[in-house]
A and B are shown apart, each in its own frame.
Chain A
Amino acid sequence: MNSQYQRPRFARVWIRLGLLGLGLAALGACKAKESAPSTETAALTPKAAEASGSAASAPSASAPGAGNEQYFPLQSYRVGPYAAGGTGFFGGFIDYLQLVNARDGGVGGVKLTWSECETEYVVERGVECYERLKPGLNGAPSAAFNPLSVGIAYALIDRATTDKNPIITINHGRTDSTDGRVFPYIFPLQLNPYSEVSAITNYIAQREGGVEKLAGKKIVTLYHGSPYGKETIPVLDILAKKYGFEVKHIEVPHPGTEQQAQWLEIRRYQPSWVILRGWGVMNPVALKSAQKTGFPADHIIGNIWSNSEEDVTPAGAAGKGYLSITTHPAGRDFPVIQEIDKHVLSKGKGNMDDPKRVGSVYYNLGVINGILNVEAVATAQKKFGKKPLTGEQVRWGFENLNIDDARLKELGALGLLQQIKLSCADHEGGGRIRFQQWDGEKWQLVSDWIAADRDLLRPIIEESAAKYAKEKGITPRDCSKET
């Protein structure tokens, strides 16, 4: 670099920058108000839609001139470390949407359409996809976002709230977003992490023969060394105090391919139960290591991210007898899955590359997620009319979602999906789980719905939500004013 010319240049650049800065500030001040309509995206998304539309072979998606469509933007992930979950979930989701189109011609006459954008479970990719998909598709407004990723959901909280787009984090996400007063657009449907451990505790109590029997018992939580893994530590401590059992939290560093030390510790501690809050490869390795150290698999209880076939099969024989929770039993016998088979799969339109995985845990999660989204749209249509709805209107639909057994029967999802009733203040609803056991081949249900002590958890959640509101300067909604 021949530097002797560059001093003067620098002087010039400094000046230029100064002027520029002023110009920018001024521009920024006025530009900040307006928000131009997307040119690039509008140009690009139709193509994208056709693409993944035809990929998903959705007749509606590729139908031109759609004036009467409701759009589902799918931030899917089909590659990378968590692809197994993504393909299953979004496969089930898409297949259910296809079913609704094929069988009922959409929701209240409004066709459902969707397009995919690969996030690879990476936060900024998810953000990029959100920004790309949020304008909707050929004028079809987007109903709700379902990123199935805690990280992405977090990054979307502010954006979605300003853009008025519901974010569905079914069975996961930020616990305190249950408080809809502070998080108007975030929906940790069915089960937040706190409810999860609470319900697990109740199940253990049941197995031990009553809550009072918990006293003096030893329980270990083996958790993934990540925010997700640590999230339930405080709640478990509270529960332990309440019921008088001992709890030991043991961390497995990401990714969790090595757990020798942890399981030796567990063996030394001699707990009666191990709650496994695993993630990806950590789960099979946990089961393997448990076997290595002679801990019985049927006293390990996997949580919502340790409960899929993909989590057990790699462990082979070591997985036999392993227990796990679920909000949506695996299997294809449920009428709704049969319907999907009849109207979608049998017509060769199924989204799954591997048809064997239809009815798997992740697939069924996708299906019930589809049901909940569609039901929310239907509910909203009752109020706003049978037309494509904005995110804000769909939000209302979610907040007034109320699915009872009767409705579940109509949906053909009795036993697959739990009763769920949301409200302005409660964005979770269900809080119930069932337990399944791995027989070496597939999951067998071993319990009916078991509920969490949601009243016990509520204050903790509200406290955390209030803290967040304070941090961000948010004034919580007054739900009595919501209609």
Chain B
Amino acid sequence: MQFFFEVLIGGLLAGVMYSMVAIGFVLIFKASGVFNFAQGAMVLFSALTYVSLVERDLSPWLALPITLATMLLLGVLIERVVLRRLVNRSPMTLFMATLGLSFIIEGASQALWGAQVHGLELGVPDLPIEISGVFISQFDLFAAATAAVMVAALSLVANRTRLGIALRAVADDPLAALSLGISLPRVWGAVWAIAGVVALVAGLLWGARTGVQFSLSLVVLKALPVLIIGGFTSINGTIVAGLIVGASEKLAEVYVGSLMGGGIEGWFPYVLALGFLVVRPTGLFGEASVERV
């Protein structure tokens, strides 16, 4: 039983890590309908930039804002240079564009910072704390807390700031928003910038967990099922989905995987997501669209 809880809690915490990446997707998709596959590359880029700066003996307190600025810049740049030229294209085209983007970002970040593997210490010990025989990773708790703060901040932005309101308007009905004199490009630029920041947070936490290296961009694969179960457009949905995926995949790996020879974590979340979709074709929190003909 104690073991079960260990797995469960570990899974939930891992799930939060997934959500963190997925949120980046949601923001952009909600605002501009772009399925931004480059999010993973952005995660890699942010972490790599930060680490490399620190390794060039820059104090973290200097490196962090610089990286932050870089990500903001990157976000705006992407909107300016790429998406603005792709307005009114099919979602598919936009998706492709982000695939191209991820190539560019990956290439650029390695050209810039080289291909070495880096360690990343955030000064948070990764020693387990034991609660009635159940080991819980301090770091993962810290990560979860960070995620919570981030989500809170995001909802604050969404509800309290003019940008947030504009953002919501655009998400609801771009045309109406346009008629209200909201500049779509500006909102999109802002969203991409925010997504960049989210990528930074995810990048730092994942980087500290796995080390900063090329395969950091692969965390996308963990985020996708979360994104899909969450329904693409809801941050809360993403969090919930993350918890579901994390917990179920770990439990499945331990209890089901052992029957199938293990290693099922790779595909289980996708099959799970598939199951969800068959029941709810637009995910847990996605809006179902009524057919108007």
- Answer yes or no: A and B touching, Cβ < 8 Å: yes
Distance of A23 Cα from B98 Cα, bound (Å):
45
Q: Which residues of A sit under 8 angstroms from B211, Cβ to Cβ?
A: 281, 284-285, 313-315
B227 sits at the interface (CB 8 A): no
B240 sits at the interface (CB 8 A): no
The answer to whether A252 touches B263, judged by C-beta atoms less than 8 angstroms apart, is: yes
Q: Which residues of A sit under 8 angstroms from B262, Cβ to Cβ?
A: 249-251, 262
* Contact for B218 among A257, A267, A268, A294, CB less than 8 A: A257
Q: Which residues of A sit under 8 angstroms from B258, Cβ to Cβ?
A: 265
Contact size range, A: 35 or more
- In chain A, positions 74-93 with a C-beta closer than 8 Å to chain B are 78-81, 83-84, 87
Most interface-central of A80, A84, A261 (chain B CB within 10 A):
A261
The answer to whether A285 touches B210, judged by C-beta atoms less than 8 angstroms apart, is: yes
Most interface-central of B209, B216, B261 (chain A CB within 10 A):
B209
- In chain B, positions 68-116 with a C-beta closer than 8 Å to chain A are 110, 114-116
Q: Which residues of B sit under 8 angstroms from A258, Cβ to Cβ?
A: 14, 222, 265
Q: Closest approach, in angstroms, between the C-beta of B153 and any C-beta of chain A? A: 26
Q: Closest approach, in angstroms, between the C-beta of A116 and any C-beta of chain B? A: 15
A293 sits at the interface (CB 8 A): yes
| Interface residue count on the B side (C-beta < 8 Å) | 46
A395 sits at the interface (CB 8 A): no
The answer to whether A78 touches B115, judged by C-beta atoms less than 8 angstroms apart, is: yes
A34 sits at the interface (CB 8 A): no
The answer to whether A264 touches B215, judged by C-beta atoms less than 8 angstroms apart, is: no
Most interface-central of B11, B14, B115, B264 (chain A CB within 10 A):
B115
* Contact for B254 among A252, A255, A261, CB less than 8 A: A261
Q: Which residues of A sit under 8 angstroms from B10, Cβ to Cβ?
A: 260-261, 264
Q: Which residues of A sit under 8 angstroms from B6, Cβ to Cβ?
A: 264
The answer to whether A292 touches B135, judged by C-beta atoms less than 8 angstroms apart, is: yes
Q: Closest approach, in angstroms, between the C-beta of A291 and any C-beta of chain B? A: 6
Most interface-central of B110, B216, B222, B265 (chain A CB within 10 A):
B265
- In chain B, positions 250-280 with a C-beta closer than 8 Å to chain A are 250, 253-254, 257-258, 261-266
B-side residues, CB < 8 A to A, are: 3, 6-7, 10-11, 14, 110, 114-121, 126-128, 135, 137, 139-140, 206, 209-216, 218-219, 222, 249-250, 253-254, 257-258, 261-266
Given contacts A257-B210, A314-B118, 8 further A-B contacts (CB under 8 A): A81-B215, A84-B213, A87-B116, A261-B7, A264-B250, A281-B218, A291-B126, A314-B120
24 A-B contact pairs sorted by A residue (CB < 8 Å): A80-B115, A83-B214, A87-B115, A251-B261, A254-B266, A255-B215, A257-B209, A257-B218, A258-B265, A260-B250, A261-B7, A261-B254, A264-B10, A265-B254, A280-B215, A281-B213, A281-B215, A294-B128, A313-B119, A314-B117, A314-B119, A314-B210, A317-B121, A317-B126
A-side residues, CB < 8 A to B, are: 78-81, 83-84, 87, 225, 249-255, 257-258, 260-262, 264-265, 267-268, 280-281, 284-285, 288, 291-294, 310, 313-318, 353-354
